[in-house]
Structures are given as C-alpha cells and as structure tokens.
Structure 1
C-alpha cells in the first residue's frame, strides 16, 4: 500500500455517503491534533473517498491543505461500494470489555490524552449488559461517582438495573 500526501482540494467526498458523521468530526479533529495522521483516507482512482469521510471533514475543519491518501485502484466498483459500507458497519459489531476499558481509562486518567471518552460519558459507554460482573478487588479499591439526570423512563430503568444493590458511602 502506497501512502501519498495530496492536496485536500483534489479529494472528493462520495455524494451518496450513507453515514451521517457530523457529530464525530470534532473528536476526529482532536485526535488528529493529538496523534497526527496514523490512518490515511482511502480514495478510488478518481480521488472520490471510499473510507475516511470523517477524517476528511476533520482535516477541512482544521484548515489542513495536504492529507495522506491511499488509492484503492484495484477494487471493482462493486467492491468499492461494499468496502465503504463494511468499513463502517463492522465496527458496530464490537462491544467494549468493560473491565479492560476501565483499566485503560484509569491508566490514562492523569495523562490528559484524548480518548474520545469524557467523564460525563464513561458510565454510558461502559453500560453493557453482556459484562456486568463486578471488577475484581484491588489494592486501591474501586470508587465510582455517578450523576444521572434523565427524563426518559426507559433509560432510567436500564441504568437502575445496573446500580440496584449499590451501597451509598457517606
């Protein structure tokens, strides 16, 4: 795979992109600022984006003039369409391993590096009914601070299911 730097103006967004990615652009822009380019935009032979629409929009937001791309010129038009969908859809199949996620977040807590998680979201991001067993005790103990405000009864009941039996320490 050859990665080359090209003018952002030579890249064309795919006009029928089925993903609404506007809400992710700010986070990707922050990631680009923190970590630079670690993954190029993938384009077809006409420089139409196959994957990387959010990275493209984030680069535009940051005022970048040149971005890394790789040209997927060996794919058929059908493969291009399928890859565009698969690249986004396959990530939805993954679930967080809550214990590992919390360990990673705890390790990074004082490093102030961008992760895409913020303290107001962590609880909802690790709320996964497939992994609700307790975290093993450790020498520091485990402390959670939870603030929940919602007018959605369904959300309240779902969260309540996870915190039933939690002891309040005063």
Structure 2
C-alpha cells in the first residue's frame, strides 16, 4: 500500500542533493528555471525522501538558491526502497524526453502568444526566439497573402500632429521628430537607453524614378537626402543620425541600418564613426523585385553595428538552432 504523501515548505538548508544525480543543468537552463519561478511561482514541488535527500528537482533547487529563497515546496515520499528511488530519479528525467511535439499545434500556440501583450518574455516558455522563428517558418501554411489597399489620408483636413509631438500607443511611443535633433532624441528617450535600433534613412536618391514609377503606389520625396546632397554631405547626414542614436543606446546595443548598393561606402564610413564595431552586413531577401532596367533588386542591404564595447545579446544562435 502506498504511504500518504507529505507536501509542505522545506528549508533549503535542510535539503541534500543526490550525489550521483545524472542530470546536468547548465547556467542557461538554471536561468530559465529561475525566470519561470519568478513569473509563475513555484508550481512544481521538489521530490524528497525521509532524509530530505533530493529525488527530483535539482535544477529547481539551484534556481531557488539563485533567487534567494529560503524555503521551497516539496513532496516527501517514504514508501520506496533505495533502488526504486534511484530508478525514479532517472525515470523522472527520461520519460518526459520521450514525448514529441504536435508541431502544428505548437506553432499555432507560439504564434498566438507572439501576438499577445503578455507582460512577460515569451522565452519563459522555454523556447528561445531562434527556435520559435524556425518552428513558425517550418509550419507556415504558405498561403499567399492578399494585397490590401492602404487607406489614403484625407489631405484636405488640417494636420493634427506637430513637430515634437510624442504619441503614446499602449506601451510604445511614436514621435513626430527629427532624427538629427539632439532635443528631439532627448525628449523621446528621457533617461532610457535603447537595446536595439533599426533605421531606414533616405538613400539620397530621388523617389521618382527609383522608388515610385507608374504604378498605383506613389511616394512623396523625402524632406532631406532625396538626391540633392553631395557624397560628403550625405556621409555627414548619416554620421550625425547614427551618432545621436548611439548616444542613447546601452553598452552593447545592436543597430541595424538599411541602405542601397550605391551608398554602401557612406553607410560603412558613418557606422565606423558612430559605433564601436561593425558586426555584419545582412541581406533582406524580399518577395518582389524593385524598379530597374539591367538588374531589378529584390533585396535590401542592412548594416549591423554595435554601440559600446559590451557584449551584444545573441537571440539568433545560428549554430544552436541549426540555421
């Protein structure tokens, strides 16, 4: 007959890890477990025997220590022989690994959670950003998207937004400002520092003939850098914009800056002046080719820079996720 289970709070100082625990928990996983406990609570008690020796939950115990907890919930069992405890320890870890995912449902769940305002990092699920990207990509239905007609603003009405206005959109802020203005950047960022920046500046080419043709979608010329600048003027324009962004970025922040093939030199020079390291050059492969006669570009070049000497956060992890 199975003995009744004891469930209660046990002082961490009284617990004894099993000396021959075969399961390894690296620092990354302990960090994940600790973050889960902080977000959701200690929902999975440890499993211990009559002498407070751990049978299951070594990773959770280490995470609890990292969080500074003094007590943890535990289930005490007293009906197993020593060999059975050791077998249970292996089974507790191994049996869960024998399960597989229903990838279509998993992808749907991750896609839904990615669209919610969760109030916490989706990585608390245990899936990292690179893994989620791969799962969603591999389970994409490949249904072609239907083109939508963008609503056209009524330009006869008086403009509401003025230069310097900051709009609050939920947790986000959007400023009608000048990326070359010290005042505008200071007003927008206040005391915050950016973890990442993405900028798509004008390329110093006229819109007409390069972006807008005879199609339905027409674009107005940029206020600046729409073909009127010399090479040196455009380089200075980019350097000033990137430098201001770097000043409002944390040490190790990553910046992505789009540019066309004609002005790669100016962007690289500006990035070298504004940032501390040129990390890479990415190619954004698009679905449709742009305007052109000899070669129609179906991509956009994205320079990747780092602000400061601190380490950057790597959420891509190409080798780890097989990409």
| Same fold at TM > 0.5 | yes
CA 1:99–1:138: 2 relative to 1, 3 Å: farther
Distance in 2 (CA, whole Å) between partners of 1:97 and 1:11 is: 37
CA 1:149–1:86: 2 relative to 1, 3 Å: closer
Larger Rg: 2
Bigger relative contact order (CA 8 A; separation at least 6)? 1
Gaps of 5+ in 2: 147-315
2:60 paired residue number:
55
- After superposition, the C-alpha distances for 1:47-78 in whole angstroms (9 at most, x for unaligned) are 11000001101000101001001101111111
Answering whether residue 89 of structure 2 is matched by residue 84 of structure 1, we say yes
Gaps of 5+ in 1: 141-146, 157-170
1:42 paired residue number:
47
In the alignment of these two chains, the number of paired residues is: 142
Answering whether residue 16 of structure 2 is matched by residue 6 of structure 1, we say no
Answering whether residue 38 of structure 2 is matched by residue 28 of structure 1, we say no
List structure 1 segments (4+ residues) > 4 angstroms apart after TM superposition.
136-140, 147-150
Deviation at 1:115, TM superposition (A): 1.0
Distance in 1 (CA, whole Å) between partners of 2:142 and 2:88 is: 40
The DSSP-based 3-state class of the residue aligned with 2:130 is coil
Answering whether residue 127 of structure 2 is matched by residue 117 of structure 1, we say yes
Deviation at 1:46, TM superposition (A): 0.6
CA contact (8 A) 1:29 1:61 kept: yes
Deviation at 1:135, TM superposition (A): 3.6
1:144 paired residue number:
none
Deviation at 1:96, TM superposition (A): 1.5
CA 1:30–1:148: 2 relative to 1, 3 Å: closer
CA contact (8 A) 1:99 1:135 kept: no
1:167 paired residue number:
none
The DSSP-based 3-state class of the residue aligned with 1:78 is helix
Q: Greater helix share, 1 or 2?
A: 1
CA contact (8 A) 2:6 2:77 kept: no
Distance in 1 (CA, whole Å) between partners of 2:318 and 2:53 is: 43
CA-atom RMSD in angstroms: 2.7
User: TM-score of the superposition, structure 2-length normalised?
Assistant: 0.40
User: TM-score of the superposition, structure 1-length normalised?
Assistant: 0.73
